[in-house]
A and B are shown apart, each in its own frame.
Chain A
């Protein structure tokens, strides 16, 4: 059975201030209702004032999606009563959005973009003692009220839940590269998903947070709708709520109960002309998009496509880290190898993102310098990188503190001599023709010095020692 999916994605823009007032957007760990003012609280007498930076950000998103920017935009009031609304209307865009049309390629499949528009976020509700329908009480945090949102609406072009997830991953990568959102902030990306199966009615699932949940919610709906159809039950057109905890969707309201939003133009905000000049300036200052970046990294640093792909898809910070490291160390392939193979692996193992860890390009290239300068072995370097990722300590320091540097030849010879003296049985065995005894002795040396010498050097010195005696 074929699924038809359309998404409405709401993204918090990381402008410094909210969409219509000067309150900060850095509300992550703030006490509820502390980052508020008369405007975002909708106090009588207050008026919105548009943050033009949000328009800039919205424009770069529209341009990245090949969406056509409208020459003149304005805002509207979307009217409905809900406790998260400080004014009981939301300032959004209705008749004329920021941009229309466009697409995003997922694999070879073009997913059409219907529109991109700006709007304010409502307050955050916390339901206490139950869910959305049966909570004993509901707390309101207006810190989120007025946060700048961009809404990206797709055409119903998405054909599977996997494709929906792939679309969102690609979109978020683009947003990351544009620098218009903070991927680590809580609830930064919220999705309403429309899904229908075969000829069935369209069902909307509201307010899903995070990609994994989008995929989960859609999967649940596919199964629910399929089994309903198999049982001969028809799917009704409705809006459903997804509960992330239980992973299931439930009816929020039926089509007949849909609100009539009674839109009017927002009379406190004037029309905004998005002049050719303004659009042109935005185009010029557009950051590099992921696909462009992959091609450039490949060409500029001579690294293989698959590695460039990994660097870019890991997130903007990773490829920036790579480029900065290349500025500090001239063997770019080596930088890339160590980054993609070992640093990334250790980060994943620790469950850290680059952002969360304390590693820096300066300290990272120390590892490569230590290997090249003969201070540590590659094997030890691979060990050391784990410590480095965990602590963020300078690798040079770690080598000093843990005494991991390669031994000088005379130091190594001392160890060899003492091993040969201690394991006289093995020496005798060797002399009596058991060549395997050499391996035993080498093993003993390596055990003492761990990886502070190359295995070949150890073998050479052990043989020299044995042949002398």
Chain B
């Protein structure tokens, strides 16, 4: 059976693909023999790339995202586009008019989101595979932890965003998922580094992420705000188990505080929505994606395209984001949120003076069932991200690594490190997985 046929087979069962690429060619390089899947919001030349949104249906990018080009250059076979919440707006990969992926551990449960398809495929692939995924506020960590795979969200600016269909540009980070820490680290090496097409990429040299040291002597901090209330005790038990394991391997454990954590969710959503509402403005049915017969004037036309092409969550974020930017509210919301973000970054900077890595549960609960999700209010959706938004807001790198199960569902340990210090989080993750 060919690779693509095998992917189609799996997709029939788990629903993780939005589009298939016919690329089976494998050149020489670090990714020789690997299939690479690409989150739907990352452009692949010649393959429909719609970020899970109907308004981009039919958009065939005329160029490859830098991460895709770099993967190809290392011999990868690009197999297609994985499902996601529309534009990344969600935590369960249910906010989309396309496929909703099923959790490999229990099809009644969500894979998590927004990179749900990437996590699902990474878990079920029975061939060498790594996934290009993307996180704005936790969209890599959440689904990776709920599907029991490794996910790396690199430092903001480590990986080029050229070719990423933006959600919130100052927060968006392209990262990776894989079955093992080693594969994820190898793949991160492939896609990292300066890129003339993205000015926000850092000039810092990229270390060999696969050269991981042991955790002996590593200082691990446990942010007290990340445990206790709101975290399922069964999840916490698994997390503590893995932390103890790291301690037994020679790491030192201490409690730290990230005092601005409680403001990070509001700050994150304000900045994310403000940026998202400007990013989505370009989708007006004129040059690509969904088009209709032109009737009425320009305003009437693009409004009708957007009414049809955007889901409820997208519309909600456009409205909230626009409100946040309006004269009279801009200072109180947008500008204040930017100030809070600085405070959140300071929290992390201060913590990383004394510890190498912060450890916490990736998600407060295991993957919820679809019927539970249907009962949640939007604010409860947003609350799910409470443990992932602060590091995402701060732009620090984070790795989620499977660390046991609760109620038969995987639990992830979240390991966060200082800017550009991915290697430390990877070392800790490798320690957790070590036999």
Contact = CB atoms under 8 A, between A and B. Distances in A.
Nearest to A80: B281
A43 B51 CA distance: 13
B59 A44 contact: yes
B288 interface: yes
A49 B196 contact: yes
Interface in A249-278: 260, 262-265, 267-270
B49 A45 contact: yes
B56 to A, nearest CB: 6
Contacts of B288: 43-44
Interface in B91-109: none
Interface string A58-90: 000000000000000000010101110011110
Contact of A89 (B59, B63, B278, B298): B278
Contact of B278 (A41, A79, A260): A79
A375 B162 CA distance: 69
A263 B163 CA distance: 24
A248 interface: no
For A43, A44, A260, A270, which residue has the most chain B Cβ atoms within 10 angstroms?
Answer: A44
A268 B56 CA distance: 21
Contact of B275 (A47, A260, A264): A264
A88 B281 contact: yes
A265 B168 CA distance: 12
Nearest to A262: B325
Contact of B286 (A50, A83, A89, A265): A83
A361 interface: no
A89 B170 CA distance: 17
B325 A263 contact: yes
A45 B298 contact: no
Interface string B224-255: 00000000000000000000000000000000
A79 B327 CA distance: 12
B169 interface: yes
Contact of B322 (A42, A44, A262): A262
B287 to A, nearest CB: 6
Contacts of A265: 170
Given A88-B284, A264-B274, A269 B43 contact: no
A47 B198 contact: yes
A264 B200 contact: no
Given A44-B51, A44-B56, A50 B199 contact: yes
How big is the B interface, by class? 35 or more
A130 interface: no
A43 B330 CA distance: 28
Contact of B302 (A48, A81, A89): A81
Contacts of B287: 41-43, 86
Contacts of A49: 196-199
B199 A89 contact: no
A75 to B, nearest CB: 10
Contacts of A443: none
Contacts of B43: 44-45
Nearest to B284: A88
B197 to A, nearest CB: 6
Nearest to B202: A270
B314 interface: no
B334 A264 contact: yes
A140 B165 CA distance: 24
A280 interface: no
Contacts of A247: none
A304 interface: no
Contacts of B62: 38, 43
Contacts of A269: 199-200
A33 to B, nearest CB: 10
B326 A267 contact: no
A260 B199 CA distance: 28
A43 B284 CA distance: 12
Interface in B247-288: 274-275, 277-278, 281-284, 286-288
A23 to B, nearest CB: 14
B61 A45 contact: yes
Given A87-B281, A88-B282, A47 B199 contact: yes
B65 interface: yes
A45 B200 contact: no
A83 B281 contact: no
Interface in B153-207: 161-166, 168-170, 196-200
B2 interface: no
B326 A260 contact: yes
A87 B284 CA distance: 9
Nearest to A20: B199
Contacts of A268: 161, 166, 169, 198-200
Contacts of B163: 45-46
Given A38-B63, A270-B200, A81 B325 contact: no
Nearest to B338: A265
For A43, A263, A267, which residue has the most chain B Cβ atoms within 10 angstroms?
Answer: A267
B299 interface: yes
A256 to B, nearest CB: 14
Contacts of A47: 161-162, 197-199
Nearest to B56: A44
Given A43-B288, A45-B165, A260-B327, A86 B197 contact: no
B122 to A, nearest CB: 23
B325 A42 contact: no
Contacts of A50: 199
Interface in B35-78: 42-43, 49, 51, 56, 59, 61-63, 65
19 contacts: A38-B62, A38-B63, A41-B287, A42-B287, A43-B287, A44-B165, A45-B163, A45-B165, A48-B199, A49-B197, A50-B199, A79-B281, A81-B281, A81-B284, A82-B298, A89-B278, A264-B325, A267-B168, A268-B161
Given A45-B49, A270-B200, 19 more contacts: A42-B282, A43-B61, A43-B62, A44-B51, A44-B59, A45-B43, A45-B164, A46-B63, A49-B196, A79-B325, A81-B299, A82-B298, A88-B281, A88-B284, A262-B278, A262-B325, A263-B330, A264-B275, A264-B325
Interface of A: 38, 41-50, 77, 79, 81-83, 86-89, 140, 260, 262-265, 267-270
